[in-house]
């Protein structure tokens, strides 16, 4: 099972909105609402930001939102802040009953 495809990097200025895409196939993203997103700051463990495509844990800011269209899931961060600078990973369940991750996207806040 190949990894999900994410852009290597995205950037935005404080206050702007950015979107990170995560592209899979009909055997993973397209077939299930099982997408989750994780934020990882340097030297730290990943943290859950979004689960089941668009659900947000209560501790996560409402500036973070998730969506899906076809085989592509997206994470949108609005009102970009310096603390949002991190690596972001998507994950999906697959028809082979395995879990796969995207390659990760480095977000730079300009």
Partner 1 sequence: QVQLQESGPGLLKPSETLSLTCSVSGGSISSYYWTWIRQPPGKGLEWIGYIYYSGSTHYSPSLRSRVTISLDTSNKQFALKLTSVTAADTAMYYCARGVATTGLWFDPWGQGTLVTVSS
Residue ranges in contact with partner 1 by CB under 8 A = 1, 3, 32-36, 38, 44-48, 51-53, 55, 57, 89, 91-93, 96-104
Q: Nearest approach, Cβ of 99 to partner 1 (angstroms)?
A: 4
- C-alpha of 65 from chain center: 9
CB 13 to partner 1: min, Å = 26
Confirm if 22 and 35 have CB atoms less than 8 A apart. Answer: yes
Which residue number, 8 or 15, has a Cβ lying nearer to partner 1? 8
Tokens of 66: 């998730």
d(C-alpha 44, C-alpha 58), whole Å: 21
Shortest approach of partner 1 to residue 94 CB, angstroms?
10
């Amino acid at each position: 099972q190949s990894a999900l495809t994410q852009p290597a990097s995205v950037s935005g200025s404080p206050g702007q909105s950015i979107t990170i895409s995560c592209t899979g196939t009909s055997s993973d993203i397209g077939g299930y609402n099982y997408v989750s997103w994780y934020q990882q700051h340097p030297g730290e463990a990943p943290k859950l930001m979004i689960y089941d495509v668009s659900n947000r844990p209560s501790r996560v800011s409402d500036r973070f939102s998730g969506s899906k269209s076809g085989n592509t899931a997206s994470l949108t961060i609005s009102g970009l802040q310096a603390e949002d600078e991190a690596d972001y990973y998507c994950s999906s369940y697959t028809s082979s009953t395995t879990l796969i991750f995207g390659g990760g996207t480095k977000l730079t806040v300009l």
